[in-house]
């Protein structure tokens, strides 16, 4: 057996020096401390991630509640707008209704048909002016080509002249547009 206490200089050149494979107690303690430090670090990171997740959940729930409130408020406003949309239109019609009532009251004691007609014409002009102020315009379909988007043909009449085929010959009921959109189709007689 060789002597372990030999001087390293006396060892042959091809000899391998091996260290003790069993770790010492201090190395075990250092490894244990490192594992403990990593565990503490991971636990802290886990707690931080949990806190971040809770924070994100709360923000998400807050945003969902905020959006739900917005949606409900918008629906309520929309329904109120639809419910009260006609309010301004009818408010503008009230003076015209008042004029009609005054005219009816005045005609009770009047035998003059021309003054009654004159009063009705004034009320009619006032109504037309109010409609124009609100974007309602009368369509004039006479002597035009029939357009199914604007007109409703209630009858077709045979015509002797080919140039009158497909043209509007008579308007039974006027059509109206509001802001260039058809409010009511004109009821017309078309040449066939």
The count of structural domains within the chain is 3
CA angle 58, 64, 68 (to 5 degrees): 145
Answer yes or no: do 120 and 144 share one domain: no
Residues 153 and 192 in one domain: yes
115 and 159 together in one domain: no
Alpha-carbon distances, residue 91 vs 72, 78, 86, 88, 138 (angstroms): 29, 20, 8, 5, 21
Q: Does any domain span residue 32?
A: yes
Task: Provide the pLDDT for residue 111.
Answer: 81
The 10s digit of each residue's pLDDT in 161-171 is 888 888 888 88
Please check whether residue 2 lies inside any domain of the structure: no
pLDDT in tens, 109-160: 878 888 888 889 999 999 999 999 988 999 876 658 888 888 899 999 888 8
Q: Give the model confidence (pLDDT) of 10-22 as tens digits.
A: 655 665 555 555 5
Within-domain flag for 185 = yes
Assess whether 94 and 109 both reside in one domain.
yes
Identify the pLDDT of residue 1: 47
Residues 63 and 42 both lie in one domain: yes
Q: Does one domain contain both 74 and 91?
A: no
pTM: 0.54
CB-based contacts of 155, cutoff 8 Å, min separation 6: 189, 190
CATH of the domain at 143: 2.30.22.10
Residue 40 tokens read as 């503490």
43-102, pLDDT tens digit by residue? 999 999 999 999 999 999 999 999 999 999 999 999 888 888 778 888 888 999 999 898
Question: Whole domain around residue 170: which residue ranges?
Answer: 136-192
In a domain, 63, yes or no: yes
């Amino acid at each position: 057996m060789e002597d372990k206490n030999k001087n390293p200089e006396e060892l042959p050149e091809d000899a391998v020096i091996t260290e003790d494979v069993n770790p010492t107690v201090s190395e075990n303690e250092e490894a244990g401390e490192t594992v403990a430090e990593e565990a503490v670090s991971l636990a802290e990171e886990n707690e931080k991630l949990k806190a971040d997740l809770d924070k994100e959940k709360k923000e998400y729930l807050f945003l969902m509640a905020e959006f739900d409130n917005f949606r409900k408020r918008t629906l309520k406003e929309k329904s109120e707008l639809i419910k009260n949309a006609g309010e301004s239109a009818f408010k503008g019609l009230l003076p015209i209704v008042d004029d009609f009532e005054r005219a009816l009251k005045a005609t009770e004691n009047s035998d003059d048909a021309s003054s009654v007609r004159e009063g009705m014409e004034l009320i009619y002009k006032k109504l037309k002016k109010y409609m124009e102020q609100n974007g309602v315009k009368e369509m004039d379909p006479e002597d035009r080509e029939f357009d199914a988007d604007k007109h409703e043909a209630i009858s077709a009449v045979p015509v002797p002249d080919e140039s009158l085929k497909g043209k509007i010959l008579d308007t039974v009921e006027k059509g109206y547009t509001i802001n260039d959109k058809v409010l009511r189709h004109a009821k017309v007689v078309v040449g066939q």
